[in-house]
A and B are shown apart, each in its own frame.
Chain A
């Protein structure tokens, strides 16, 4: 293709590109807000909008004073004199107030005054006023100033290990806070902490994968019968099935819980598999029946002429041809069960799944709600991977050659 034609083609498609990109931007902005927020400190989240991280930051407090008095010897990063390294928190912590810093500055260094050019204002009050922002800047240099630290992974780390305190897991471990050391080992083994997301992750997988398989297999079988088999009451049962989609699952919780106690399967994986399968089936059958039912009649008839029976037609024709529908069903079934809270809370009390575990992490007084931001993203990775993985079934041409032109 010559360049002109290529340009022409590109321009012709420009409106499509713009529309797709515009919609993507609109759709991603709310999620982006959560994503950015998940890396911010709790203080910063309450003080300013998440988008401000993309704006130029206001100059740090004390920078002009630091540049005027200290930078020529200590360097812009405070590391120029190794014995007086301002990036070391232990050194900076020796000067908790402007007064203590003033004492240090009045002391001679190697027999010479500490500050020669410029010197501090001679009036003590003016000197202290100059030093207060300097203290704040030294704390920034040593990485201790929380409000100026822009990003942190603590929402993620806290959620992963199941930290419920009011500060964060990493700093508690560093400072050896007793209440944290009781619950945590402060090493990699904390990922398996029963209150953390690791264990809940495995429980969720153990719930979701069997349910998704059950729903797909049972629904595909039933959908084939509704579409291509003949039996009494076919239309009526199918009508009822559409109506079953509306039944709110809250109405089943109590009777089924009572039934499970009688059967002795309360809080078992079997119980939750069956419950989710039951409520996944009406929609699943409805969707797949629609897809299988709209396949052309002649492909089934010619299979029959070739000697196939229904079971063969189901496996060799209906299932492969319904793959796009089955893939989208699989995606949604997976995600609905993955994000379910209510059913798991009631029927799987001994093995908390992710959603239940996350709500367990929340301090009822609202002290650590920011943990939700990290937890929401951790919980969201797997469903997105499933969506990507199933994309390859959405391809054109499965029916190629089977339709008469």
Chain B
């Protein structure tokens, strides 16, 4: 389906696109091609990755770095953790952000309330690391707890909990930081979409006697659905490359490793493995791309 609505010159579209496309070609596409090349070389980027194979051990030849990216125990932990982050944090932030945007839309102090949820976004990750130190800190000796959570636990007579080093809970502790940080992002985008739903449509439904749930599910939700999908897509991509929370809070220790942190740690010591992980990240987004293109085709056909 062609979106053509009026006459256009043959080159007109490219004039609109040129500045953005040229900049992206230079700064993203060209380095990505280099990245793919490096991912087939060894750690010094001089020989083929096949030379790093050890005799009598499994070997993927020139794709040896990809064998590392897909089978190394540290990478398996990272892949598992990223899957967990995706499963919990994408719904957590999108639903949380939507819920809050809808509620805030109904109160008069909306702008203050939204600013509070948005606030974590404005704090640099350096500040965020310090902030959560005062939440998760553990004082193992007899001294007073300066971490808020453990002060509460101890206040109720419990034993202090190692929120960041206990492998059973530390991933969830980190995800909590993630939701705290990113819910404001989803809220802002979704709030803009909610404001875009024409008031007369909502009023008409209410006059017709629809209850609030129906107004939401039959009118609001379908209208803002494209934005929900966009926000979900963006969050999925952000979570796939989540890095700074883990880097600042645990450095990937105690079983909290994630893909992007592995990539970052290897960038100096082993460019081949690091770039193979980067390419793996790009490959992981292909389903997201396919899904989005399919959706845009349908949307354009319908309008």
Are B234 and A286 within 8 A (Cβ)? yes
Range of interface residues on A (Cβ < 8 Å): 35 or more
Q: How many A-B residue pairs have CB under 8 A?
A: 308
- Name the one of B26, B104, B237 contacting A246, with C-beta atoms under 8 angstroms: B237
Counting CB contacts under 8 A, is A23 at the interface?
yes
| A237, chain B: closest CB distance, angstroms | 8
Are A49 and B151 within 8 A (Cβ)? yes
Chain B residues near A255 (CB-CB < 8 A): 30-31, 34
Please report the C-alpha to C-alpha distance between residue A90 and residue B67 in the assembled complex, in whole angstroms.
Answer: 72
Chain A residues near B264 (CB-CB < 8 A): 250
Chain B residues near A309 (CB-CB < 8 A): 6-7
- B235-257: CB near A (< 8 Å → 1, else 0) gives 00100110000000000000000
Chain B residues near A21 (CB-CB < 8 A): 113
Chain A residues near B13 (CB-CB < 8 A): 225, 229-231, 234
- Name the one of B14, B122, B293 contacting A239, with C-beta atoms under 8 angstroms: B293
- Name the one of B31, B109, B146, B196 contacting A46, with C-beta atoms under 8 angstroms: B146
Counting CB contacts under 8 A, is B12 at the interface?
yes
Are B127 and A380 within 8 A (Cβ)? yes
- Name the one of B20, B28, B122, B134 contacting A252, with C-beta atoms under 8 angstroms: B28
When A235-B297, A277-B23 are in contact, do A391 and B111 touch as well, CB less than 8 Å?
yes
Are A247 and B32 within 8 A (Cβ)? yes
Chain A residues near B92 (CB-CB < 8 A): none
| B27, chain A: closest CB distance, angstroms | 3
- Name the one of A20, A30, A227 contacting B107, with C-beta atoms under 8 angstroms: A20
Chain B: which residue is nearest A395 at the CB level? B195
Counting CB contacts under 8 A, is A136 at the interface?
no
Are B19 and A235 within 8 A (Cβ)? no
Which residues of B in the span 106-137 have a Cβ within 8 Å of any Cβ on A?
A: 106-107, 109, 111, 113-127, 130-132, 134-135
- Name the one of B2, B32, B267 contacting A230, with C-beta atoms under 8 angstroms: B2
Please report the C-alpha to C-alpha distance between residue A271 and residue B233 in the assembled complex, in whole angstroms.
Answer: 30
Counting CB contacts under 8 A, is A274 at the interface?
yes
- B28-65: CB near A (< 8 Å → 1, else 0) gives 11111011000000000000000000000000000000
Counting CB contacts under 8 A, is B141 at the interface?
no
Chain A residues near B230 (CB-CB < 8 A): 286-287, 290
Are A355 and B189 within 8 A (Cβ)? no
Please report the C-alpha to C-alpha distance between residue A286 and residue B124 in the assembled complex, in whole angstroms.
Answer: 24
Which residues of A in the span 31-63 have a Cβ within 8 Å of any Cβ on B?
A: 31, 33-34, 37, 45-51
Chain B residues near A244 (CB-CB < 8 A): 24, 28-29
Counting CB contacts under 8 A, is B281 at the interface?
yes
Chain A residues near B281 (CB-CB < 8 A): 246, 248
Counting CB contacts under 8 A, is B282 at the interface?
yes
When A246-B281, A384-B115, A403-B201 are in contact, do A228 and B226 touch as well, CB less than 8 Å?
no
Query: Which A residues are closer than 8 A to B by beta carbons?
Result: 13, 16-17, 19-21, 23-24, 27-31, 33-34, 37, 45-51, 217-219, 221-222, 224-231, 234-235, 237-248, 250-252, 255-256, 259, 274-275, 277-279, 281-283, 285-287, 290-291, 293-294, 296-297, 300-301, 304, 308-310, 313-314, 324-325, 327-328, 331-332, 335, 338-339, 341, 355, 358-359, 369, 372-373, 376-377, 379-380, 383-384, 387-388, 391, 394-400, 403, 405
